[in-house]
Amino acid sequence: MEEKKTSENFMVKLASFIVNKRKAFIALFALACIYSAISIPKVDVIDDLTEYLPESTETRQGLDIMNEEFTTFGSAKVLVSNITYDKALALSKELESIAGISAVSFYDEDSDIDDSDERGDYYRDASALYTITLEEEEDTFVSQEAMVQMRGILSEYSSYVYSTVDKDDAASLKEDMRVIVVIVIFIILVVLIFTSKTYMEIVIFLVVFGVAALLNMGTNYWFGEISFVTNAVGAVLQLALAIDYAIIFFHRFMEEHETEDTTQATIIALSKAIPEISSSSLTTVSGMVALMFMQFGIGMDLGSVLTKAIIISLLTVFLLMPALIMMFSKAIDRTVHKNFVPAIRFWGKAVVKLRFVGIPIFLAIVAAACVLSGKCPYIYDVNSIESSKKNEFLASKERIQETFEVTNTMAVVVPKGDYDKEGKILKRLEAMEEVDTALGLANVEVSDDGKYILVDKLSPREFSEVAEVDLDLVRLLYQFYALENEQYSAFMKNLEDYRISIIDMIDFIYEQKEKGGIEFDDELSEEIDDLYQAVCDARKQLEGETYDRLVFTLKGPVEGEETFAVVDRIRNLAQEYYDEVYVVGDATSNQDLSSSFQRDNVIISVLTALFVGVILLFTFQSAGLPFLLVLTIQGSIWINFSFPYLTSSTMYFLSYLVVSSIQMGATIDYAIVITSRYLSLRKEMDNRKEAVIEALNQSFPTIITSGTILTSAGFVIGYLTNNAVIASLGKVLGRGTLISIILVMTVLPQLLLIGDKLIDKTELTRASKSEQEKEEHSDEKKK
């Protein structure tokens, strides 16, 4: 008793300090808002999820090497429908003439071998498919300008552009989120008006939410960079997850204000709200912390930002909201209105009456859902997510796939220098049924008959035939090369036996031309320049300082067991020649994500349930009660993730990891609200059925407020953004929250009523109470 009084006195003193120093806190929050407003533009947003792959994965290591050593030129696939072949061929020439475009791949029957199958790869069903290669990387001005001009020409046709060159996900998502935030705010206003006791509280809530969101977005600058997922949904989730805190505090204030003046009511309400809200927030924080244990770095990113968001929301409610209540106290009193939330005792009576039917049905559904959720078909490729609203990128991909096959470009990165080994790997890749094309310096053909490749070492006569240059001039060039490289043995032996690789000879000839060491006529000089530029472009893409890159295109889907098996075969093939091999591409990225998902899935599920269970154990001092609450929410999670299997759809793996954690951490609060009310009421009421009915009735306003906002926010995000990742997260979160609300308002009260004896028997304080009763009984006997 003494400890409880001491605790209460401390809370009252803390609350009094906060209320008395309210002006200082307002000034502090104003400065923090200015800092955050300045910091928000400085936050670096990462659009590529592969950036969050663990450093130990092959894809991450391979991507780092490719970013450092190779140049990847921008590219695009363009489909033009309702066009004749002749017009399509003419259009390919027009596109190729655009500055910044280096090549347009299309079938030309006048210059290509007449092969109907090859033509079908480019022109089919009155549709033409062009593969565009740009002269520079995709983020340069030249590439961007080339895309603008290309789109200008294509505007006259029915065209579909599939490219990441001018794909601006950040701008598109920002535009979507503006609309989403407006709609979510409107929903919040409607819900708050419905559940409010005074209209002024809505203004106070919006100020508190706005400040908390601003501070969280601004302090993201501390992390340096965040993912586009976190950046997009962070504010909306913060709003939905933390809205309970402001509602609990304000409703406490209104209760106290019935008998106390504003200052005293605020102090008393705050002293009671701080421990209650802090305890409630722990379950939500535990879900976010569980995300941070993911091997996939997006978990740490999202978990840390949302944990910070909840802490900031708590501080804003505890430190700023009391000042706002004091500031607008007269307006609060003037705008008090009747309660719009109806009593739902009828619902409670129905739930109690059907408890012996409801629980068996629930257990049967949960058992089935547990099995079916384990069969959920997960996908790992971001471009394979089913989305209600599609951006141009995905819409174009789907349209192209209707007529043509979209291949998956990948690369094998190996140590530089051994062209023989590279050539053998490339030949074996080309022989694979699943591989469409394979390209490396070791298989670039330089003769029409395919006899010679770029890295072949040729004699002067062979080089003369390939280059169609006078043999005497070639011999002279070979002598110059030998002198320049101090290879004097070439003069000691027959010059015809001296062999130089084509690629080295092209470099040498260009160098001599630039130095003026050898003069060429204008036509030959221009040919040398073109040839040297082509070799340079090939080297930028395929040859680095320490590694070489072999690029190949894979047929079929970008993920799945069969695709992953093909990737493993290619990796094993390359490892026959090299100890160090990196296979890189969307397929390997998806394979790495699939592997990390197995681990992350177990860790998040176990840690979230464990954290929440421990928190509930200490909150309610009962070993049986946490089991009933976690069973209810975990049941809702299983039901949520059985939907993809039942509807024959797919589930993006990240949606499962993130939403399962948020759903457990956030919606367990709804169960806590009802359980706390029930435990309190059953001490006052003799009839426990009536206690359950009243607990549901009293908890309804809080649950309907927070639950409606989180559900609505999820569905609005899911159906109004064209970013497939965000859309998937939103839909699954909205559906999961709705299922949690239904189970909490129906099954949980039934479990509490039937499990009442279990709650009593597993109460941790039961033993100490029994000991205390024995001591009191013994004292009475002695007296």
Q: Which pLDDT value is given to residue 449?
A: 66
Instruction: Kindly state the average pLDDT of the residues 124-143.
Output: 90
Query: Cα separation of 412 and 422, whole Å?
Result: 10
Name the β-bridge partners of 227.
46
pLDDT at 771 over 60: no
Q: Percentage of the chain with pLDDT > 90? A: 36
The separation between CA 708 and the C-alpha centre of its own chain, rounded to angstroms, equals 24
DSSP state of 459: -
The separation between CA 483 and the C-alpha centre of its own chain, rounded to angstroms, equals 58
Report the amino acid identity of residue 621.
Q
How many alpha carbons fall within 13 Å on the CB side of residue 336? 11
pLDDT at 538 over 90: no
pLDDT at 280 over 90: no
DSSP of 652-711: EHHHHHHHHHHHHHHHHHHHHHHHHHHHHHHHH-S-HHHHHHHHHHHHHHHHHHHHHHHH
Q: How far is CA 75 from CA 161, 516, 633, 675, in A?
A: 11, 36, 47, 58
Show Cβ contacts of residue 109 under 8 Å, excluding neighbours closer than 6 positions.
119
DSSP state of 389: S
**What average pLDDT is seen over the chain?**
86
Q: What is the pTM of this model?
A: 0.80
Q: Which of 660, 655, 646, 682 is nearest to 755 (CA)?
A: 682
Coil/strand/helix, residue 622: strand
Angle at 252 between CA 249 and CA 256, to 5 degrees: 140
Report the amino acid identity of residue 725.
V
In this structure, are residues 706 and 243 in contact, taking their beta carbons and an 8 Å threshold?
Answer: yes
pLDDT at 89 over 70: yes
In this structure, are residues 281 and 245 in contact, taking their beta carbons and an 8 Å threshold?
Answer: yes
Q: Which residue has the tokens 């080339």?
A: 146
Q: How confident is the model at residue 490 (pLDDT cuts 50, 70, 90)?
A: low
Task: Give the pair of three-digit tokens for residue 128.
Answer: 């033409």
In this structure, are residues 659 and 240 in contact, taking their beta carbons and an 8 Å threshold?
Answer: no
Instruction: Kindly state the average pLDDT of the residues 621-637.
Output: 88
Task: Give the pair of three-digit tokens for residue 411.
Answer: 């690369």
Coil/strand/helix, residue 164: coil
Show Cβ contacts of residue 239 under 8 Å, excluding neighbours closer than 6 positions.
184, 188, 209, 213, 709, 713
Q: Which pLDDT value is given to residue 581?
A: 95
Q: Which pLDDT value is given to residue 610?
A: 85
Burial state string for 314-338 with b = 16 or more CB within 10 A and e = fewer than 16: bebbbbbbbbbbbebbeebeebeee
Q: Contacts from 680-686 at CB under 8 Å and sequence distance 24+?
A: 682/756
Task: Give the pair of three-digit tokens for residue 270.
Answer: 């705050």
Mutual angle of helices 653-684 and 298-315, in 10-degree steps? 30
Please give the backbone phi and psi of residue 444, each rounded to the nearest 5 degrees, phi first.
-80, 115
What DSSP element (H or E) covers 437? strand 435-439
Q: Which of 661, 594, 644 is nearest to 375 (CA)?
A: 644
pLDDT at 781 over 80: no
Query: Cα separation of 407 and 566, whole Å?
Result: 14
Q: How confident is the model at residue 783 (pLDDT cuts 50, 70, 90)?
A: very low
Q: Which pLDDT value is given to residue 94?
A: 93
Q: Which pLDDT value is given to residue 215?
A: 95
Return the higher-pLDDT residue of 240 and 149.
Answer: 149
Interval 669-712: pLDDT, tens:
888 889 888 988 888 888 889 999 999 998 888 888 888 888 98
Sign of CA dihedral 96, 102, 104, 108: positive
Angle at 712 between CA 732 and CA 705, to 5 degrees: 120
Task: Give the pair of three-digit tokens for residue 539.
Answer: 């080297």
Return the higher-pLDDT residue of 691 and 177.
Answer: 691
In this structure, are residues 551 and 438 in contact, taking their beta carbons and an 8 Å threshold?
Answer: yes
Q: How far is CA 369 from CA 122, 178, 640, 642, 782, in A?
A: 47, 36, 8, 6, 60
Q: Which pLDDT value is given to residue 18?
A: 94
pLDDT at 722 over 60: yes
DSSP of 643-662: HHHHTT--EEHHHHHHHHHH
Q: Which pLDDT value is given to residue 114?
A: 47
Q: Which residue has the tokens 């996908």?
A: 379
Q: Which of 407, 433, 440, 380 is nearest to 574 (CA)?
A: 440
Q: Which pLDDT value is given to residue 492?
A: 64
Query: Cα separation of 612 and 664, whole Å?
Result: 8
Coil/strand/helix, residue 163: coil
Q: What is the dihedral of CA 49, 53, 55, 61, to 10 degrees?
A: -70
Q: Which pLDDT value is given to residue 392?
A: 83
Report the amino acid identity of residue 460.
P
Interval 575-622: pLDDT, tens:
999 999 999 998 998 898 888 888 888 888 888 888 888 888 888 888
Query: Cα separation of 699 and 280, whole Å?
Result: 14
Show Cβ contacts of residue 386 under 8 Å, excluding neighbours closer than 6 positions.
649, 650, 724, 728
In this structure, are residues 483 and 491 in contact, taking their beta carbons and an 8 Å threshold?
Answer: no
Interval 553-573: pLDDT, tens:
898 888 888 999 999 999 999
Q: Are strands 225-227 and 44-46 parallel, antiparallel or unpaired?
A: parallel
Please give the backbone phi and psi of residue 134, each rounded to the nearest 5 degrees, phi first.
-90, 165
Interval 362-411: pLDDT, tens:
999 999 999 999 898 899 888 888 777 777 888 888 888 888 877 788 99
How many alpha carbons fall within 13 Å on the CB side of residue 413? 23
pLDDT at 113 over 50: no
